[in-house]
Amino acid sequence: MSQATLQEPKTAQTVELHRPAKAIKLPEAATWPLEDVMALYELPFNDLMFRAQETHRAYWPEGDVELATLLSIKTGGCEEDCGYCPQAARYDTGVEAKKILDIDTVLDAARQAKDNGATRFCMGAAWRSPKERDMDKVENMVREVKAMGLETCATLGMLEAEQAERLKAAGLDYYNHNLDTAPEFYNNVISTREYQDRLDTLGHVRNAGLKVCCGGIVGMGETRAQRAGLIAQLANLNPYPESVPVNHLVQVEGTPLHGLDPLDPLEFVRTIAVARITMPKARVRLSAGRRELGEAVQAMCFMAGANSIFYGDKLLTTDNPEANDDRALLAKLGLKTRANTLESVQKERCGC
């Protein structure tokens, strides 16, 4: 495939993509046919990185990195069977099921996150979907965190339309609901919900006027073609997600995916680069598994176009590089944070 073809993706649909819910419509002709996404993956590494850097600089001239903090507001005891997840009740992983956190604990965590430089605060719960008794509590958390001046995000499982509208009314900015992997690999990982269930939730989220945070996990035993299938699904959502978290599988003993051969780190970097090229306006987030990647691979991911990280000591139940380590790495790389950029803009506006 020629360079010109890659720069201007084909308009003829060459693959039947999994059909989403009403509000998340694929165009009649896919913007990124699967074969074009595969062609990006198969570029020589330096050429792919160059393409990703060109795209990143064109769409993100400030080059800042968003710091987002994720708090588990309800841990463990989930009825789903996601093969990667230590919070599934059916797996013996040492994760204890707990009740939903009280509002003061959540607000203390949000204040600490803001003091450490985070600009977005995400609240996650290990549910298949929130029950009515949970909604009032979550809405109150959203309102109070929003009042601190933080962007708010929640990941609560599947949503009905009315639940998405209630979260929007409470002040929620983003809703996270990952596709996890390509449609053709999905049943190897999860059996308790369908791919269409995930797309339906995204449809309700879009209909409610919420921004979408949606990505997936790599290193679950999928092929490169299946990684390309995940990116094609995301890139052809109309519109594509505003935030795209890319997770590197954290293998937890007791889960079905424990013991897999680890993914080649350069393949993870390729996935970041392909996400950046195909979804140029999205925040591409380094999420779970950064600790295992190490500093050098994370640096390549930033070069490939990652401009958001989950920031703090824990990602739900798995370890994450500590905030001090993250700040030190960003300083070594000469990268600005979004908080720094916003502060500079505010100073310019007020003439400070």
Annotated binding site for [2Fe-2S] cluster: 122, 153, 213, 285
Q: Using CA atoms, how far apart are residues 300 and 128, in angstroms rounded to an integer?
A: 35
Q: Which of 51, 193, 285, 290 is an active site residue?
A: 285
Q: Using CA atoms, how far apart are residues 299 and 202, in angstroms rounded to an integer?
A: 31
Q: Which of 120, 122, 166, 290 is an active site residue?
A: 122
From residue 185, give the alpha-carbon distance in Å to each of 56, 94, 176, 192, 224: 29, 27, 21, 14, 11
Q: Which of 78, 166, 214, 338 is an active site residue?
A: 78
Give binding residues for [4Fe-4S] cluster as ranges. Answer: 78, 82, 85
Q: Which of 51, 82, 166, 338 is an active site residue?
A: 82
Q: How many CA atoms lie within 13 A of 105 on its CB side?
A: 11
Active site residue 301: no
Q: Using CA atoms, how far apart are residues 226 and 40, in angstroms rounded to an integer?
A: 14
CA dihedral 13→304→241→88, nearest 10 degrees, is 110
Q: Which of 120, 153, 198, 214 is an active site residue?
A: 153
End-to-end Cα distance, the chain: 52
Place of tokens 């995400």: 122
Instruction: Report the Cα 325 to chain-centroid distance in Å.
Output: 21
24 touches 179 (CB < 8 A)? no
Give binding residues as ranges. Answer: 78, 82, 85, 122, 153, 213, 285
DSSP state of 157: S
Active site residue 122: yes
Q: Which of 213, 227, 270, 276 is an active site residue?
A: 213
Active site residue 213: yes
Catalytic residue list: 78, 82, 85, 122, 153, 213, 285
